[in-house]
Structure formats: C-alpha cells, structure tokens
Structure 1
Amino acid sequence: MAEAPLLRTPLHGEHAALNAKLVPFAGYEMPVQYPSGITAEHHAVRRAAGLFDVSHMGEFDVRGERALDFVQHVSTNDASKLEVGQAQYSTLLNHEGKLLDDLIVYRYTDRYMLVVNGANKDKDWRWVSQFADQFGVELTDRTDDIALLALQGPRAQEILSRLTGADLDAIRYYRFAEGEVDGVHATISRTGYTGEDGFELYVAAADAPRLWRRLLEAGGEDGLLPAGLGCRDSLRLEMGYALYGNDLDEDTSPLEAGLGWVVKPDKGDFVGRDSVLAVKAEGPKRKLVGFRLKERGFPRHGYPVSVDGAEAGIVTSGTVSPTLGDGIGMAYVPAASAKPGTEIGIVIRGQAIPAEVVRPPFHKEGTVRKD
C-alpha cells in the first residue's frame, strides 16, 4: 500500500521561504532546522527566544453538562481541580493501564480542550470518541482549524508584549487567557516544553502565517530565531521531559515512566485505574531514569544499557547536551538500579561507556516560571 502523503501545517510556506530543512514527523512535513542550525537555535532559546511551529498537535473540544465527568473518565489527573483559565498535564490510558498518550487539558468557561500529540491524534480521537455517548458530550476535532505557535525563551514575554495588550504577567505557569495578538484572536497559554519561560498561541489557521512573520520581526533585534524539531528535542531532553514515541508508549505504565504524579486514583474511577493500582501495589519492575555519561560519547535512542556488565535496558532518548557539553539521556532500567548515583553503562559501538543515573533536569538554570 502506498504511504499517505505528508500533511502540511498552515505555516509550511513560511518554513519553505526560510529555507528550513523539512522532514516527515507525526504525519506532517515539519522543519527540523533552519539555516542557522540546531545548535544556534538551541542556544537562542536558552539565551533569548525561539519560535516554533507546533501546529501538528491535536486539539479536541469537549462540551456538555457532563464534560468534566467525561474528562475525568478518559484522563488520569484530577480535572475537578482546574479553575477557568488553568491547564493541566495528564495522560490517557488504555484499559490495561498503559500509556496511549500524554496531553494537556485546558478549562475554558464553556468547554474543555484536550491537546494531544500530533502523531497520536487520530488514534486518540477514535479512543475518546467511544465514550462520548456515555456522558452525553459533544466532541469536536479542531486540529485542522487551529495553528499553534510556541514562543520560548527568557525574552519571550518582552517580545510578545510588543504585539498584545494582554496582561502577560497575570498568565501564570499552566494558566491561559484569551486576547488579541497583533489583531488576531488567540488563546495565550504559559506551559512550555523547553525549560524556559514562554507562551503558546492558539490561533485560527488562516491567521498563523502573518502572525509568524510579525513575531519574528518583533523579536529580531532580541536574537529571536525560528526553531525546529532538532532543538526542540535537545531542549526538552535537557529538562528530562518525556517524548511520546521515545520515552512513552503503549507498553508502558505511567508509574514506570515516572508519571505517577499525574495519576489520581482517589478522584474516582477512570480508564485503566484498576491496572494502575495493581502496578502500584506490586511496584513497577522498571523505571525511566535520566543518565549522564562520565566519558565522551553520543548516546542515542535504542542503544543498550548495561548494569553490572549485563544488558538491562535501553536508551529511549539521548544526545550531547548543547548547554552542558556532556552526553545525557533517558532510559528504562530495573527498578533496583533507578536510584540517583547508580553506575550504569551505555553501550556505544560495542563498548559500555560509564554513566551515572541522575535526577532530571540536567539543565537547572532555565527561566520557566513555576509561580
């Protein structure tokens, strides 16, 4: 069977005009880097700002009197704690208590919005749709109608303030507001995936290209660069943020992945609850950990991990940190070897390079606001 043609985000023309290197990602043709290069883009986000196209993400609206009950049933965190204008990190589980996806739940005045990973959006839509009638809710897939721009970095607020009258100081971490940005209606949120301060702008697809250009213009003198998937990956890895498809998958329990903090069995029943409780009672047999190489080397996804000379796990994400200069990564290891300070080996070209289990983040000086 012929593969489906790659989709394009509303900003595809902007990436092409900037001579971005475009690659397949999550079913889309996406920029992995621009002529400035991955390292320059990474440092721009850490020191100034970067502008990302994340329009491949999926957005589902949930409306109805029992919208909260629906969200509580399909996701693991406790959405009843959300105030209007607040967002929450959560997960979707299958009936076996394994990870279908991680997501962010937004609470608006009249609805909830589920923001899911682009590579999973079709699967997630089929999954959550089967519960709609049970709760009498109206589900709408708005993915194609919405473009999503992420402005990240210590100068992000200063740059964005030039184009909006919204009170950005009032948008605290994992909060959002609706307002205008350069005349464009937007949901302005403050979540982020880089470890730096920043904002996400959910706008109508048709408005995205002009807003992209205006943001780059507004931040040009501040060192703002368009940023691609390459530095998005190195930035999130320096913070120890998991990536679905690498560190998370349908064979993994959230307790193995270190996501027990977003699983709230006390809120009542939800999909996968009994299975999660069973894993909790027994204790996960493996755990996702961060590691840092003690010698030079480039750890990559799929490399074996050794413990006491025997293969015991696999690297799920790895890179040489542009900020730190060392090889860092994440891996699943036996639970007994997951304690920080434990010596492990990362097998690179047949040689076990010594590494130490460390507690992320690897980069501890980010500007992300937690207030």
Structure 2
Amino acid sequence: MGSTLKQTPFYTVHKEKNARFAPFAGWEMPIQYPSGAIAEHRHVRAHLGVFDTSHMGRFELRGKDVVSFLDYAVSSDILTLAENASRYGLLCREDGGIIDDVFVYRLQDHFLVVVNASNLEKDYRHLDALRKDFDVQLLDRSTETVMLAIQGPEAIPFLDTVGSAPLSGTPRFGAAYLKIDGVDVVVGRTGYTGEDGVELFFGSESALQVWNYLFVEAEKHGTDLQPIGLAARDSLRFEPGFPLYGHELSEDITPLEARLKWACEFDRNFVGRDALRKRFDSADPRKLATIVLRDRGVPREGCAVHDPSDGSEIGLVVTGMYAPSVDAYAANVYLDSTFNKVGTMLEIDIRGKRKAAEVIKRPLYTPSYR
C-alpha cells in the first residue's frame, strides 16, 4: 500500500488476522478476512461481528449555544434530543444538496457528531463557518479516539457480560457510559448493519487493550465474535437501505431525491430547509429506487438503466452487489420518477448487454430492531 495512506490503531491486529487491505477514503482499511465477505455478512446476521470504524470522523461540540447551533446545522430535530440519546441527520447546503449524513449523540456534557471519513475536513470547515454567530466550541477528536462497531443478534447479551454495567436496558439510539477492562467507553446503541448492536468510542491509547479483551472474553463465554471488513459492512448496510455517501448521497442529491425527507425537521430552520420546501410542490425528476436483477448479471456503480420500451436511458446505478440475505443481485438506482413504481421492469446495461431488472419495495431486508 502507498505510504500516504493512514492506518487506524487496530492495523496490527487486522494484519495478525490476515485481513486483505484496500484504500478507503485515504485509509488503509481491512476489506475482508480469510473467510470472505459473504461469510462475514452472514455471520453478523446470525451471530456477532466487530468492525473497526475508526476511520470515521468524530467531532466534539460544546458551549452555550451548542443545542441551537446543531439544530440549525443538522436537518433533524436536535432541539428535543434527550441526554444520552442520538439521532441521524444531514448537513445540507443552502440549495438542499447533501454535504454529509451524520449521527449526533447528546452526551452528559457535550455533543458528539460522527461524520464520514471522506468528508471529515469538508464537514469541519462547513461547521466552523456556520458557528461564527454562535457561542460554540468545535473540536476534532478523530485522532485521539477510536471507534468500534459490535453488531449482530448476540451483541447486547455479549456486552452485558463484558461491560461494567448491562446495556440491555439502553434503548435503540440511546447512549451509555461504562468501562470495558477498566477503560472508559461511550456506547451508542446504534449501527449501520440492520442488526442490533452498539458503537463504542474510547481513547486511542486503549485501542488494542479493548480489542484483545473483547476476543478473550468472547472465547471465555463461548461467543463466536469475528472481525468484519468493509466489504461486508457495505452489503450489510445496503440490504436495509442505508445510504453511503458518494453513492446514494452527494452534494448534487437532495434529501427528497434520496428518500430522506423523514430525516428533515421542516418545523426547524435548518440550513437548506427553504430550498427544499420550494420543491415540495414540484415532482422531483429523479428518485432513489431499489431493483433486483431478473437475468443473470452483477450490476455495478455507473451501469446505465434503460426503459425496455424504447431503449432510452432513464437512470444510473449508484450501488450494486450480491445481497446474501435475499440471495439476489440488486442495486440502488436513481431513476426518472415515472419509473419508480414497484413492479416496473427495466433493463441494466452490464458490460454492453441489457439485463432485465425489476423495481422492488424497499428495503431488501427489514432491520431486526424494527
């Protein structure tokens, strides 16, 4: 790998577990382990997996105006967000384009905002520019902290045995404080897989201590904890319909097109609200849809989508892959709105050959906690 790629503090243990690495957002990240991405995907759906997500950005915000500031900067309702709770939201441009999608945690004495790795510097500049009229401190804690996601149906029972306090009473999207092997950890009952689980935030100096302790305890308790790479993380998020920035989301896509109107609190004056409101009364020319291949073929990002009746191009694939939980090749596509109806038959151009596909009801996989 190139010497310019960054490595998380867990890099050595990934190598010990024979991970295959690839560049991702400027980081050298584990893509998969020897069992392979499909096996890893199925293991998380059935059991328990741990993901190194330390490449993601973590901002700490505090100050007299921090609540009103985040309520303005983020599309969702932060004003009523309770302490020790979290909420998904978007950072938007004034014209409604999506700068990033974020998770906001309201902790005991500050807010934690988790941003995508590829957008860290852009998001920091955006928030820094917005805060000029607010009494708010914005601190990038990405280097001095790490982040692990522990996901799967066995996640909460396992963590109840290894933490200093049980997590089973913490609700979905709640947050808690505990110690793992004596290390102070902030826990969010959140994740990106469609399974129950948590995300852990703690100091970088304790990264290997906590990682090793989790695997020792898993073996002691007969829990089959497995490390999971980014390839399985992608398919796990794809099936329940969670977007990935740079694919389903970009500055040229609005929340309305991305089916994220639910993540916008239009009673609040967030950045981009007025531009989005003006679009309520006009049909968006495109909308995100999910399709399943009815012919053999693997849809990939950038594949053109065609109207079978006349061959005209009506959209593009933004994410395409095999979905193990439903045993199908599927894709997320942005389509002309007239073709978004469930059951509509389309054609995907895969390596110069047209393959039949059908628009289906989203999502492919219903999250286990719903």
TM-score, normalization by structure 1: 0.95
Q: What secondary structure is seen at the aligned counterpart in 2 of 1:280?
A: coil
* Alignment match of 1:363 (pick from 343, 362, 365): 365
C-alpha distance in 2, partners of 1:18/1:150? 17
SS state of the match for residue 79, structure 1? coil
**Equivalent residues of 1:159, 1:215 under 8 A apart:** no
TM-score, normalised on structure 2? 0.95
Query: What is aligned with 1:174?
Result: 173
Aligned to 1:336: 338
* C-alpha distance in 2 between matches for 1:79 and 1:260: 16
Matches of 2:65 and 2:12, distance apart in 1: 41
Does the 8 A contact of 2:157 with 2:168 survive in 1?
Answer: no
> Aligned partner of 2:266: which letter?
P
Deviation at 1:172, TM superposition (A): 1.0
Shift of residue 80, structure 1, vs aligned partner? 1.2
Q: Distance in 1 between matches of 2:131 and 2:217?
A: 43
After the TM superposition, which residues 229-308 of structure 1 pair with which residues of structure 2 at under 5 Å, given as runs?
A: 229-267=230-268, 269-307=269-307, 308=309
Q: Is the 8 A contact 1:216 1:226 kept in 2?
A: no
Once the two structures are superposed, what CA deviation does each residue of 1:78-100 show, in whole Å capped at 9, x if it has no partner? 11121001100000001221000
- Unpaired runs of at least 5, structure 2: none
Aligned-residue offset at 1:175: 0.8
- Tell me the equivalent position of 2:105: 106
Partners in 2 of 1:124 and 1:83 — Cα distance? Answer: 24
* Distance in 2 between residues matched to 1:156 and 1:179, nearest whole Å: 15
- Residue identity opposite 1:321 in structure 2: A
Work out the CA distance in 1 between the residues paired with 2:95 and 2:365. 35
C-alpha displacement at 1:237, in angstroms?
Answer: 0.9
CA deviation digits over 1:323-366, x for unaligned, max 9?
Answer: 222111100001111122222222112222111112222123x5
Where 2:252 maps in the other structure, the secondary structure is: coil
Larger CA deviation: 142-151 vs 354-363: 354-363
Correspondence list, 1:76-115, <5 A: 76-115=75-114
- In the alignment, what sits opposite 2:322? 320
Aligned to 1:183: 182
Partners in 2 of 1:284 and 1:339 — Cα distance? 14
Q: Superposed, which structure 2 residues align to 1:5-84 within 5 Å?
A: 5-84=4-83
Partner Cα separation in structure 2 for residue 321 and residue 222 of structure 1: 25
Letter aligned with residue 241 of structure 1: F
| Aligned: 1:352 with 2:354 | yes
Instruction: Give SS of 2:71's match.
Output: helix
The question of whether the paired residues in 2 share the 8 Å contact of 1:72 and 1:78 is answered with yes
Q: Is the CA contact 1:63–1:110 (under 8 Å) kept in the aligned structure 2?
A: yes
Q: Distance in 1 between matches of 2:144 and 2:227?
A: 22
Paired with 2:259 and 2:217, the residues of 1 have a C-alpha distance of: 39
Amino acid paired to 1:314: L
**Does structure 2 conserve the Cα–Cα contact (< 8 Å) formed by 1:296 and 1:326?**
no
Q: Counterpart in 2 of 1:193?
A: 192
Runs of at least 5 residues in structure 1 that lack an aligned partner in the other structure? none
Bigger share in helix: 1
